[in-house]
Amino acid sequence: MNHKLELQHITKTYITEEGEMTALDGVNLEVKPAEFLCIIGPSGCGKTTLLRMVAGLDHPTSGTIILDGKEVKCASPDRGMVFQEFSLFPWRKVLKNVEFGLEISGMRDKERQAIAEKYIALVGLQGFENHYPYELSGGMKQRVAIARALATEPSILLMDEPFGSVDAQTRNILQEELLEIWARTKKTILFVTHSVDEAVYLADRVAVMSARPACLVKCLAVDIPRPRKRTSAEANEFRAKLLMWLSLERSKACVTV
Ligand SMILES: Nc1ncnc2c1ncn2[C@@H]1O[C@H](COP(=O)(O)OP(=O)(O)OP(=O)(O)O)[C@@H](O)[C@H]1O
Ligand SMILES: [Mg+2]
């Protein structure tokens, strides 16, 4: 079958003052078109590094990343990224934040405004177009970031713990909204999280990473019908399985998927 994204033997070594530091050590992963794939792993294992490389913002030390049949070599609007920290331009209003990628691509005023308005409505922020980021709550800021990432109509959405900084209730709401957007837009989503609960609620498959130097420990399919109940017996069972894989030592665990 055609894969949307292929990570082939990805290794990343940083040169630091203390010497070489291997963050990722031979990560192999294949993502299907329109798949919702969560990546979970301990802090510092290289999840952000991996996403940045798929975005083309950083490069593997060795290995190849193939998106839509082409090797990823640099950043491009066909990859929308939502970052771990709020990353809006504070001096731009909501509309102008969402228009940003379209502006860079040289699209004309009226056209990009119409597209930005469409995505602002999709994330439920109609009426806030002329607000500055400081006038928004954390959850609203992340909705703007999602609208901005979607506005360039990327073929894949890369999300780095996008709901990590919001309260539990807002996080649940944002997760539900994201699933609706995913169902409507049929985007492929690569979603990094620390949260086992979040992965079980959102993902088609969960890729479990080991501690650094990180490899992929296991890819688990979440065979729970949607819409999912957060506390169903099958969700609890899957959570336990995921926790078991997360607790394995790297040396015992690394696999080639
Ligand atoms: N530019 C850099 N230079 C040197 N080391 C780096 C650089 N970027 C990341 N690292 C190191 O690479 C490792 C992986 O970092 P990364 O940010 O990808 O982890 P993470 O899995 O996203 O962690 P978290 O869950 O805390 O966000 C860490 O040890 C980090 O210190
Ligand atoms: Mg990170």
> Which DSSP state fits 215?
-
pLDDT band for 182, please (50, 70, 90 cuts). very high
Q: Is the minimum distance from the CB of 46 to ligand 1 under 6 angstroms?
A: yes
Cβ atoms 257, 219 nearer than 8 A: yes
pLDDT recorded at residue 252: 52
pLDDT in tens, 92-144: 999 999 999 999 999 999 999 999 999 999 999 999 999 999 999 989 999 99
pLDDT in tens, 196-247: 999 999 999 999 999 889 999 899 999 999 999 999 999 999 999 999 999 8
pLDDT recorded at residue 166: 86
Q: Rounded to two decimals, what is the model's pTM?
A: 0.94
Q: Is the minimum distance from the CB of 212 to ligand 1 under 6 angstroms?
A: yes
Question: Which residue's structure tokens are 């990009």?
Answer: 112
pLDDT recorded at residue 250: 56
- Please identify, by atom number, the ligand 1 atom nearest to the C-alpha of residue 45: 21
- Please identify, by atom number, the ligand 1 atom nearest to the C-alpha of residue 161: 27
Bridge partner list, 219:
207
Q: Is the minimum distance from the CB of 43 to ligand 1 under 6 angstroms?
A: yes
Which domains are present in the chain?
Answer: 1-78+155-257 (3.40.50.300), 82-153 (no CATH)
Q: Is 32 exposed, middle or buried (0-12, 13-18, 19+ CB in 10 A)?
A: middle
* φ, ψ of residue 220 in degrees (nearest 5): -115, 130
Q: Give every strand in the sheet of 156-160, ordered side by side.
A: 79-82, 156-160, 188-193, 36-40, 205-209, 216-221
Counting ligands in written order, the one closest to the CA of 43 is 1
Q: Which two tokens stand for residue 55?
A: 């975005």
- Portion of the chain with pLDDT greater than 70, in percent: 96
